[in-house]
Amino acid sequence: MNPLGGRAVITGIGQSEVGRRLGRSGLDLTVEACLRAIADAGLTPDDIDGVTTYPGSLSAMPGFSGAGALELHDALGLDTRWLMGSVEVAGQLGPVMDACLAVAAGVANHVVCFRSVWESTAQQRGGGDRASVLGKGPRRASGMMEWLLPYGAPSASTWVAMLASRAMHEHGLTREQLAQIALTGRANAARNPAAIYRDPMSLDDYLSARMISTPLCLYDCDVPCDGAVAVIVSRRDATGGLPRSPITVEAFGAGLAERHTWDQRIDLTTMAAHDAAATMWAQTGLTPDDVDLMELYDGFSYLTLQWIEALGFCGHGEAGRYVEGGRRIAIDGERPLNTQGGQLSAGRLHGLGFLHEACVQLWREGGDRQVAADLEVAVAAAGGGPVAGCVLVSLR
Amino acid sequence: MTTDTRPAGRPLPAPGPDSEAFWTGGAHGELRIHRCRTCGRFFHPPAPVCFRCRSTDVGPEPVSGTATVAAFSINVQQWLPGFDPPYVVAIVELVEQPDVRLTTNVTGCPVDEVHIGMEVVVEFEQWDDVWIPVFRPAAESGDEA
């Protein structure tokens, strides 16, 4: 049933230093994460024959891309058989899926997949422009921004906020329920020495924070940071002698069933996440009930709720009630969520950090934040609005 | 605290062959939305082909300019120089065909009076060679609460 046939596995992971305004280049952070991941897998750079990354060498937004696939190739003097770096993939986890296809097809043996950002430092150097605010500048707006920039909506926070308002209207979602994503992340971050924000946060702290774009407040929005994450995707037949028990990529979700827009989806209380999740479940005999751990994108808190619904952990419109009170999604709850603190508290590593954390937990290397319960299957997901991708991994 | 005044600065679109009618219809007081002449349905943003039936017999047509607020946000953060918060960014649904939506501004009323279900009508702000469609509450605001 698994089109990958179990041939694609994860053999190593790596993360660079992560922080605010580290003053290091994106390539520097990228190299640190990739060398760590390669060594973690028991490999050397000479063993790496593939590279994938999101979004590739983009310079339009300061610090949004720390390095492209070719920059890493050049920096490490790699000898590859296959590589790609692109923004037009199934979200920030898309390059992992492409690596899985490459190894399953036998095109490569060991692919380093990375995502790096240096938005925090780039913003400081660029005079304070927000990295994730698109399309600023003297030229007129075209492409997607033609429809958003004239209305003062250059930031995804506004786009997500509008959709959250619809969920509040249709499904009775409350700010207290939204808050639970931020509060759970912060509680987990306190156990993660690599997280950026570790001070306790209360519901009162959340409710008294300044608004960004109603109904989203400051703590609903992740924080730009500098950092890089890398994952080694290997062909299972090439893993003999490697130190780790491989993590199997059971399935991935890359579906996109409706138009690539933020405002034209037929049901405004769903997102492309629903399409991606549906195609992921169609690839596997596993079901949502089999999932022990959720590592779900929280670039904005509402997106996590969308992923919870999209992946079928609760019914349509029920995610607010699913997370209410936080017991179910706590680190010792029935299905822990964002155990590293999520991007809201651990930093905006932009997607790949969720798969990294899923592997940390499955390999039981979480230290103070390790989930005590047995873990066999985890899901990592990234993206919001028309951008989505998810990956189901296991120790099976 | 109304958003009645036009912002000091509004980033302008670069109309292309497909979108020019949308951004200039205001010169004639018309909101012009692309429609498929084969299946009869409107769609937005404009494109050279109907995404539903794939007909290329498409083009802009005037609509009434009446719409309903489907989702909105009071934007509080300042993102753009001259575009001072607070202002409302909204997704509105055209009365002719509710699954055709525009992301726009709701102006002409206090920001905290905007709500989902509110009936709004188009008006145009001219900036250089483009007419930006924005929406204000309908005069007879008989909308649901």
Give per-residue pLDDT as tens, B109-126. 999 999 999 999 999 999
CA nearest B72 in A: which residue? A162
Domain ranges of chain A: 8-129+153-394
**Alpha carbons within 13 A on the beta-carbon side of A184:** 30
Chain A residues inside the 8 Å CB shell of B7: 152
Q: What is the pTM of this model?
A: 0.96
The reported pLDDT for the residue numbered A232 is 98
Q: With an 8 Å Cβ cutoff, are A157 and B77 in contact?
A: yes
Q: With an 8 Å Cβ cutoff, are B73 and A149 in contact?
A: no
Nearest in space to A112 (alpha carbons), one of A156, A71, A61, A157:
A71
Radius of gyration of chain B (CA): 15
The reported pLDDT for the residue numbered B3 is 46
The reported pLDDT for the residue numbered B145 is 42
Nearest to A153 among B51, B74, B103 (CB): B103
Helix axes A301-310, A272-281, angle to 10 degrees: 40
Domain ranges of chain B: 20-135
Chain B residues inside the 8 Å CB shell of A159: 103
Model confidence pLDDT, tens digit, residues B32-67: 999 999 999 999 999 999 999 999 999 999 999 999
Amino acid, single-letter form, for residue B94: L
In which residue ranges of chain A is pLDDT below 70?
A: 59-60, 126-138
Amino acid, single-letter form, for residue A322: Y
| pLDDT at residue B1 is higher than 50 | no
Chain B residues inside the 8 Å CB shell of A262: 103
The reported pLDDT for the residue numbered A122 is 85
Q: What ipTM does this complex have?
A: 0.95
The reported pLDDT for the residue numbered A244 is 96
Q: Closest Cα of chain A to B10: distance in Å?
A: 6
DSSP string, B72-129: EEEE-S--BTTBPSPEEEEEEEETTEEEEEEEEEE-SSBGGG--TT-EEEEEEEEETT
The reported pLDDT for the residue numbered A3 is 86
Q: With an 8 Å Cβ cutoff, are A147 and B103 in contact?
A: yes
Q: What are phi and psi of A9, to 5 degrees?
A: -135, 160
Q: With an 8 Å Cβ cutoff, are B13 and A214 in contact?
A: no
- Paired strand residues for B2: B110
CA distances from A221 to A118, A343, B46, B98, B108 (A): 17, 9, 31, 30, 29
Q: With an 8 Å Cβ cutoff, are A263 and B103 in contact?
A: yes
Q: With an 8 Å Cβ cutoff, are B13 and A153 in contact?
A: no
- Choose, out of B42, B75, B118, the residue to mutate when testing the contact with A (most A CBs < 10 Å): B75
Q: Closest Cα of chain A to B86: distance in Å?
A: 9
The reported pLDDT for the residue numbered A126 is 64
Note if the bond before B17 is cis, omega within 30 degrees: no
Nearest in space to A131 (alpha carbons), one of A16, A28, A226:
A226
| pLDDT at residue B141 is higher than 70 | no
- Choose, out of B5, B41, B73, the residue to mutate when testing the contact with A (most A CBs < 10 Å): B73
Chain A residues inside the 8 Å CB shell of B90: 162
- Choose, out of B41, B103, B125, the residue to mutate when testing the contact with A (most A CBs < 10 Å): B103
Structure tokens at A72: 């890493």
Size of interface A-B (CB pairs under 8 A): 116
- Find out if CATH 3.40.47.10 is the number for domain A8-129+153-394: yes
β-pair type (A377-382, B58-63): unpaired
Q: In whole angstroms, what is the distance from residue A375 CA to residue B12 CA? A: 52
Q: In whole angstroms, what is the distance from residue A119 CA to residue A117 CA? A: 6
Provide CB contacts within 8 A for A26, sequence distance 6+.
A63, A65, A66, A67, A116, A117, A118, A122, A226, A228
Q: In whole angstroms, what is the distance from residue A38 CA to residue A110 CA? A: 9
Q: Closest Cα of chain A to B103: distance in Å?
A: 7
The reported pLDDT for the residue numbered A62 is 78
Chain A residues inside the 8 Å CB shell of B83: 152
Model confidence pLDDT, tens digit, residues A300-314: 999 999 999 999 999
Provide CB contacts within 8 A for A45, sequence distance 6+.
A35, A38, A76, A77, A78
Q: In whole angstroms, what is the distance from residue B77 CA to residue B127 CA? A: 23
CA nearest B104 in A: which residue? A151
Q: With an 8 Å Cβ cutoff, are B105 and A166 in contact?
A: no
- Choose, out of B79, B100, B111, B113, the residue to mutate when testing the contact with A (most A CBs < 10 Å): B79
Nearest to A141 among B13, B70, B72 (CB): B13
Q: Closest Cα of chain B to A173: distance in Å?
A: 14
Provide CB contacts within 8 A for B111, sequence distance 6+.
B1, B2, B3, B74, B86, B87, B88
